[in-house]
Amino acid sequence: MSVMRTTSKVLAAGVLTAALAACSQTDTSMQSGVSEADVAGGPVVMRRITEGQYERIVAQVFGNTIELGGRFEPDVRAGGLLEVGAGRVSVTPSGFEQYDLMARNIASQVLEEKNRRILLPCTPAAADAPDDACASEFLAKVGRLLYRRPLTQNELAIQVNKAAEATGALGDFYDGLELSLASMMVSPPFLFRQEIMEPDPDRRGQMRLDAYSKASRLSFFLWDAAPDPLLLQAAENGELHTKAGVQRQVDRMLASPRLKDGVRAFFADMLEFDTFETLSKDTTLYPKFTFRVVEDASEQTLRTIVNHLLTEDGDYRELFTTQRTYLTPLLGSLYRVPVATPDGWAEYHFNADDGHAGILTHLSFVALHSHPGRTSPTLRGKALREILLCQKVPDPPGNVDFNIVQDTANPNFKTARQRLDAHATEPMCVGCHKITDPLGLALENFNTIGGYRNTENGADIDTSGELDGVKFGDASGLGQAVHDNPAATSCLVNRIYAYGVGREATKSESEWLKDQVSARFQADGFKLPRLMRDIATSETFYRVLPPDSEGQMAFASGNAPMQVVEK
């Protein structure tokens, strides 16, 4: 043991230096005046379709009565987004098993007698023999929607041939077709978004996405779904290679009710609502925290966002201050406010004096970023920095010694603030806790499941705090400080762009986002649909670098570690 202690001390000194170095790294990439013509574009990334996209495509192509009957491989988050992580994953053997199971389930429902009349465009000459013409018609039609592009001749020929073989073996046309369809649904062009590039006729020596890849990028960006027939048609007839054509399609898509799906998917991804799935609260201590609460909590925030940003065309920053939200009676019981509707959702305005303001005070934030049995100002502050301001908080040093705060039962340390203050006297901890805790402590009125409280262990809770030099007294002050912080809006711009292209912005893209897109976002009053239109109609959004070219490694350090702010 004595040997080990000595080693720990030596290591401690080394890690401290490293942590401080990480904390003081500054972003020196400040430049001005990047015009769109200067932006080189970035690499294409093959993305595995997410669970939500898979479900939506199936509903789009075959109707929403189809049951999937399987489970998905976990998606992976990178650069703050599952949509970026989707560009780093593949399909594992057990994942393939599940895709196969779902594909067969779906195909069998599609070719059930009651459905085939609607979904099959032809009737085979005989029900017990191959009919290549009919199989080809069906597989080409459905395949174009599933693959988001027409099948190549070779692809279609193989699928038709396999359907015929299976029909021969099983003695049933529909069974054969079913297996061929199922095999398409485990094929790479369905499971992955494979973007295809071609030489750009307008920019000699440069590459662009082909029309179908443009259609997919656009439609997953705005709708979180595969292109609809109109968009595929626009790809087919060349419309998407003209500026006016892209604008026409983007405006049509922004006006569609499906924009809501896209906006919900983006925010569910950015706010990490997928982690609700494995969120566990102690049910002995918090019997009200059930599966239903988890569902309602993310829905509350998504409804608030959609209403504010789309229905009201509101200012993005006001999400951090708005007192308007939507509640179910169940959520009302957790927030301890009355909800009139016996079931379903009701609009609700929090009062100025009940402490709730903005999405940071929603259960979906304070409960998601807590420990199972108690709050964590550090986790909440870290989440705010990383998720909403796009700032990377350094990890704690490996050999941190928690002796200072270990005594949670100490009667002198009743509140989280007192415990953290004790912790923060340790120089190796103070640097990074300064980045997180003053934000999280402002949310201490909300317990680990989001319920409101004024005291902890009988002691009054002090909710004062500070964000980058702006001091505030409580959660609504924190919301206002985030509202006023330019990092909140630049973070959104960067995240939504990364979400669209499936990777973090390259250096030249980042500069364009900062100089051009963010400036227009501000001038437009921080309206999300205008930001989405700006990106979706830009040329940058569709510019690509050839595979493995030099430029693709030049990613901007959008997630540079936080600087310790000394005030």
Interaction of residue 76 with other proteins, rule CB under 8 A: yes
Which residue of 28, 278, 412, 425 would you call a contact of other proteins, by CB under 8 A?
278
Q: How far apart are CA 318 and CA 526, in angstroms?
A: 9
Out of 28, 408, 412, 425, which residue is the one contacting other proteins (CB under 8 A)?
A: 408
Sign of the alpha-carbon torsion through 412, 418, 419, 424 = negative
Asked if residue 89 binds other proteins (CB under 8 A), the reply is yes
Give the count of residues interacting with other proteins (CB under 8 A).
Answer: 77
For position 548 contacting other proteins by CB under 8 A, the verdict is yes
Rounded to 5°, the CA angle 307-384-379 comes to 125
Nearer to other proteins, 291 or 567 (CB): 291
Exactly one of 2, 4, 411, 427 binds other proteins (CB under 8 A); which one? Answer: 4
Residue pointed to by tokens 């608030």 = 304
Q: Are 135 and 172 in contact (CB under 8 A)?
A: no
Binding residue (CB under 8 A) for other proteins from 25, 105, 161, 333: 161
The H or E element that residue 119 is part of is helix 113-119
Binding mask 6-25 for other proteins (x = CB under 8 A): -xx------x--x-------
Q: Per CB under 8 A, which of residues 284..323 are in contact with other proteins?
A: 284-285
Residue of 152, 237, 290, 457 that binds other proteins (CB under 8 A): 152
Instruction: Give me the least distance between CB of 420 and other proteins, in Å please.
Output: 12
Binding mask 528-547 for other proteins (x = CB under 8 A): -------------------x
Which residue(s) pair with 60 in the sheet? Answer: none
**Beta bridge partner(s), residue 209:** 197
Interface of this chain with other proteins, residues 349 to 388, rule: CB under 8 A: 371-374
Out of 91, 330, 461, 554, the residue judged to bind other proteins by CB under 8 A: 91
Structure tokens belonging to residue 112: 């059930």
Residue range at the interface with other proteins (CB under 8 A); choices 133-141, 153-161, 256-264, 339-347: 153-161
Please check whether residue 473 is in contact with residue 461, taking contact to mean a CB–CB distance below 8 angstroms: no
Single residue of 143, 176, 227, 465 touching other proteins by CB under 8 A:
176
Does residue 88 belong to the site contacting other proteins (CB under 8 A)? yes
**Which residues neighbour 164 within 8 Å (Cβ) at sequence distance 6 or greater?**
130, 132, 135, 176
Instruction: Give the single-character DSSP code of 74.
Output: P
Distance in angstroms (rounded) separating the CA atoms of residues 129 and 169 = 10
Q: Can you tell me which of 50, 109, 180, 364 binds other proteins, judged by CB under 8 A?
A: 180
Question: Between vectors from CA 321 to CA 472 and to CA 294, what angle results, nearest 5°?
Answer: 110
Closest contact distance (angstroms) between CB of 402 and other proteins is 4
Binding mask 187-216 for other proteins (x = CB under 8 A): xxx-xx-x-xx-------------------
**Phi/psi at 538 (5° precision):** -75, 160
The span from the CA of 12 to the CA of 16, in Å, is 6
* Pairwise CA distance, residues 243 & 247, whole Å: 6
